[in-house]
A and B are shown apart, each in its own frame.
Chain A
């Protein structure tokens, strides 16, 4: 169970523990947290929603992509759903590799891919309203209106 959707607080250490291996010289951990201010606008809280069964598959796909690109990598990803308050942990990504440069690169790759292909959405709640966010990368999620060939079912 290296790829999970969590409905409660994520135990960060338990995600890290999943990638411990004797061959590793480095483990990088990314912890995504709920930010209060976005372009000056104050967030009160977020609701994350997932198409859970597909989201787990897509997290696993990202892990497999990493293992193909960075030899010897181990990957674990847990993404939270439900209501999250400011500073709460939304996602934890742990990657271990034999050498540190790969661990940093592969971890960065994982979070960028999550923002492209994993069916999870956040609803921002502000003092003056609420909205589902669809272009968190501040660009169109899919420039051609759909995932590129490489995004499909890899």
Chain B
């Protein structure tokens, strides 16, 4: 299983902070599609993904146990 984390507006839209999803073997892009459909997330295309706390490109393949975070454009500072 994989833990998926949502932040900022994505968390508000999804209505949950995290979810458990079977994502091993899927790419980040494939997981984005699944999550966008499951949680009705409109703006997921503009979100970055991080795997185990490092930015990951859309084509990266997710491994068993990886923690995936969807990261909307940041606004710190």
Q: Does B bind A?
A: yes
Q: Are A134 and B54 in contact (CB under 8 A)?
A: no
Contacting residues of chain B (7-62) with chain A, CB-CB under 8 angstroms: 7-9, 12, 45-46, 48, 50, 53-55, 57-58
Residues on B with beta carbons closer than 8 Å to the beta carbon of A142 = 48, 73
Residues on B with beta carbons closer than 8 Å to the beta carbon of A51 = 5, 7, 50, 53, 69, 71
- Which of B45, B57, B58, B76 sits near A122, CB closer than 8 Å? B76
Give the CA-CA distance A96 to B42 in the complex, in Å: 44
Nearest residue (CB) in B for A153 is: B54
Q: Are A120 and B71 in contact (CB under 8 A)?
A: no
A10 within 8 A of B: no
Q: Point out residues on B near A: beta carbons under 8 Å.
A: 5, 7-9, 12, 45-46, 48, 50, 53-55, 57-58, 69, 71-77
Give how many A-B residue pairs fall within 8 Å (CB-CB). Answer: 92
Q: Are A153 and B55 in contact (CB under 8 A)?
A: yes
Nearest residue (CB) in B for A135 is: B73
Give the CA-CA distance A8 to B40 in the complex, in Å: 35
Q: Are B71 and A119 in contact (CB under 8 A)?
A: yes
Known: A121-B7, A145-B45, A151-B55. A54 touches B73 (CB 8 A): no
Main secondary structure of the interface of A (DSSP, over half): mixed
* 16 additional contacts (CB under 8 A) given A122-B76, A141-B74, A153-B55: A32-B77, A51-B7, A54-B53, A54-B54, A79-B77, A115-B75, A119-B74, A119-B76, A121-B7, A121-B74, A123-B8, A134-B46, A134-B72, A136-B77, A142-B48, A152-B55
A44 within 8 A of B: no
Shortest distance in angstroms between B65's beta carbon and chain A's nearest beta carbon?
16
A50 within 8 A of B: yes
Q: Are B8 and A117 in contact (CB under 8 A)?
A: no
